[in-house]
Structure 1
């Protein structure tokens, strides 16, 4: 899967508030699917479906331990998404700075005293 596809998958996974909340809960360490399911008013299979989406996006890993599935936050995909967002932000800041510079130059030009003889032919 190329970088753009991974980003698309990560952003699609992050679009759901339940999935974002799951990631927030996993920041402090691994949890079982049952532990996670206890925080939501949806079924355990629905939580598992959310985890499958997060896993496909590379945001979570699930390790089977006896009868339990431990879920762990994976930061590489989040780091990749954050880097893409930061790159976009930096490019827009640069464009806005250039626009601001241009507008400031135009205002200074428009408010400068004009020579009445400017533009006359001799």
Structure 2
């Protein structure tokens, strides 16, 4: 398994995520936690801005197509069942961790929240362990 190195695309993506987080905090006073936004869009009373933000996230590939003429290529290396199980595990982690990587890692770290710093360190530790086990222990 080889991972493509994309420093410019990653930098642009990071800048856009950071700008969106700052804009949301400035305009509404809300933290840009993607799973909290999704959850609130389903169950919360203030759905309008959440649905608008989610529509913007979902439309990203189509904006990319307008700019480049082609949709981004996504080639999953695992089956739908594994992705579904992974989604459930992430959902449980988000629930028990009181937030996701965007809420803790982007917004919480910027606010120097001890809870977010701890959560982000745990995310990163287990990401490293998972990649190591999959690539070296399971031959991925």
Same fold (TM over 0.5): no
- Normalized per residue, which structure has more helix? 2
Which has more radius of gyration? Answer: 1
TM-score w.r.t. length of structure 1? 0.29
TM-score w.r.t. length of structure 2? 0.27
